[in-house]
Amino acid sequence: MNEKCTLIDLQILALLSGARNAKNSKLAQEVVDRMQKLFPDLKSSLLPASILLANVYASSGDIEKATDIKIKLNKSGGKKQIGITMTDIDGKLWKFRAHDQSHPYSAEIYEQVDRMSKEVIKHGH
């Protein structure tokens, strides 16, 4: 089966994200179970789905189930891929990930983010 991310993959992952936001572990578990049954060959989608499921359990307070899922993933060799964000700055495409320091102005960028975070917190957000 083609491992490319399809519209159905995105819809399923969006549904799981919604379940995580609602702390609805029952819905998340049902989605992952159906996904495993219907699309067992979609390894590139099952891994993030399982990680999201673990996050749903963790956010709803069921740390034991979250840990069990993560242990299973580690035993099966499943590794979370590092997410990359892309942005265009003055016509140049920059790729970066969390805590990336590759941009020549990263120190200034992090200082500005810190200032903005403090300002947002000061206003109650």
The closest alpha carbon to 89, from 108, 64, 111, belongs to 108
Residue 2 confidence (pLDDT): 39
If you search the block for the tokens 């403090």, which residue do you land on?
Answer: 118
Band (pLDDT 50/70/90 cuts) for residue 81 is: low
Q: What amino acid occupies position 116?
A: M
How many Å apart are CA 58 and CA 65, to the nearest integer?
8
pLDDT in tens, 23-75: 899 999 999 999 889 888 877 778 888 988 998 999 888 999 999 998 988 88
| The two three-digit tokens of residue 11, written as one number | 């819809």
pTM as predicted: 0.59
pLDDT in tens, 2-21: 344 567 777 888 888 888 88
Domain ranges of the chain: 7-75, 85-122
